[in-house]
Amino acid sequence: MTIEQRKFTDDTRVHIFKALADPTRLQIIRTLRDSNTELSCGEVGDLCEASKSNASYHFRTLREAGLILVRKEAQTKYIQINHGTFTTFIPGFLDSL
């Protein structure tokens, strides 16, 4: 691994761990893991008891860290866990929640 690749990987890990360092975002990840399918942003917000604006902020943070995938269909956004990120950077993490 080159120095540039290591720096990219370390920067990615820092971004991931910062995103996970919040109880609401952990609850969102746990909710998505338990559902084992994609859910609408509204459904996740309701299950996590987060206001629309608060949930939106947390979804953006998780998306930017590569922890969730977002799909838009008409007016509705659907989110799901990005298993590839968890497998690559923090294997076993989802099982520990």
Check residue 4 and give its pLDDT: 62
What pLDDT digit, counting tens, does each position of 56-96 carry?
Answer: 999 999 999 999 999 999 999 999 999 999 999 999 999 99
Is the per-residue pLDDT at 1 higher than 80? Answer: no
Residue 26 tokens read as 């952990």
Mean pLDDT over each residue of the chain, to the nearest integer? 92
Rounded Cα distance, 97 and 94, in Å: 6
DSSP string for residues in 26-53: HHHHHHHHHHTS-EEHHHHHHHTT--HH
The domain total for the chain is 1
Measured on CA atoms in the order 61, 40, 75, 85, is the torsion positive or negative? positive
* Structural domain of 7: 3-96
Kindly state the average pLDDT of the residues 38-53: 93
CATH classification at residue 39: 1.10.10.10
